[in-house]
Chains A and B, each alone.
Chain A
Amino acid sequence: MLRLLTLALLLTGSILAQAAPNDMYPLDSEADRERFQNLTKELRCPKCQNQNIADSNAPIAEDMKNEVYRMVRDGATDEEVFEALVGRFGEFVRYRPQLEPRTVMLWATPAIVVLGGVLIVIGVVVRSRRNTEGASSLTDEQRQRAEKILQTDESNTTGNSGPRT
């Protein structure tokens, strides 16, 4: 009986713990709630730099969450929310930095590396194909000559090895 009670308590406890974040930021529509969740996951806490503001308990993250909540409630677009926070804390708070002159290399490097890899693979394939084609593209005359050389070589070998045995 005691065990069952503990289990029930733990279960309700965990349900309450999960419900807490939404209760603190009540929003009318499901769409807005989802938007708030996504925005707070996309924004980085400047104080605790490896956390998004949804996970962070730092006071600054709380302030940022409140601001995001206020803006979402008042009907601001995602872009407006990002701009408001980037304007205060800098590009740093975006987990996905925007494409601008300063971040061009950041976005272009993966593409450049992939392109380089593709070029190397193409090079290797083309070269190996050229080699195999070259081997089979002897003219008839060349082939006959080659066979003749091989034959004489063979007879030479047998001729040389003959006296030794």
Chain B
Amino acid sequence: MKRLFLFIPVVLAITLGVVMYAGIGKDPTYLESALIGKPVPVFELAALENPDVMLRNDIFSGQVSLLNVWGTWCPACRDEHSDLVWLAEEKGVSIIGLNYKDNREQALQWLQTLGDPYSVNLFDPSGGLGFDLGVYGAPETYVVDAEGIVRYRHVGVINEKVWRETLEPLIRKYSQEG
């Protein structure tokens, strides 16, 4: 019996080792969105292309879409832009843009020179919807299902790998459910 007690430190060390090993390589900046499973916050924002057109939550209904948060001030958004164009043109993905804390003219110019992958763009210069969504670093991309429920959030650049491994399976899954 007494001998068994001698193994306690070893057991403790192994448990601690396993717990800590599980944490290695995890990205501490990755945060799961607080909105998973909840509807996109209620909003009413002007379209980027036309200040007179007001857009509301119903733009999400009907199909699974990606909600991409971007701004011309965000260098990583430029990195992913060509991949967004590729997704919209080659894969037929519906991408809704949220132009976040940006300037209308610069944003429109950006779309003209780099291409426009968005089916529609929300113009959010004060960042109100971004704040309600819990956006903490552009670019962020949300998978929103046909009922306007947030299903997934990706923080960071979208590329072919992210699409293949994460987004495509999710879009397929929620398209079938809808």
Contact = CB atoms under 8 A, between A and B. Distances in A.
Contact of B31 (A59, A67, A87, A90): A90
Interface size class of B (residues with CB under 8 A): 10 to 19
A90 B28 contact: no
A29 B29 CA distance: 37
Interface stretch (B87-95, B133-141, B162-170): B133-141
A49 interface: yes
A71 B160 CA distance: 42
A90 B32 contact: yes
A46 B131 contact: no
Interface in A19-74: 46-47, 49, 59-60, 63, 67
Contacts of B133: 88
B134 A90 contact: yes
Interface centre among B132, B133, B134 (most CB of A within 10 A): B134
Contacts of B137: 47, 60
A59 B131 CA distance: 11
B134 A88 contact: yes
Contacts of A47: 136-137
B134 A59 contact: no
Contacts of A107: none
B127 interface: yes
Interface in A67-100: 67, 86-92
17 contacts: A46-B31, A47-B136, A47-B137, A49-B29, A59-B101, A60-B135, A63-B127, A67-B131, A86-B34, A88-B34, A88-B132, A88-B134, A90-B31, A90-B32, A90-B34, A90-B134, A91-B34
Interface of A: 46-47, 49, 59-60, 63, 67, 86-92
Interface of B: 28-29, 31-35, 101, 127, 131-137
Lowest 8 CB-CB distances: which A-B pairs, in order?
Answer: A90-B34, A46-B136, A88-B134, A89-B134, A47-B136, A60-B136, A63-B131, A92-B31
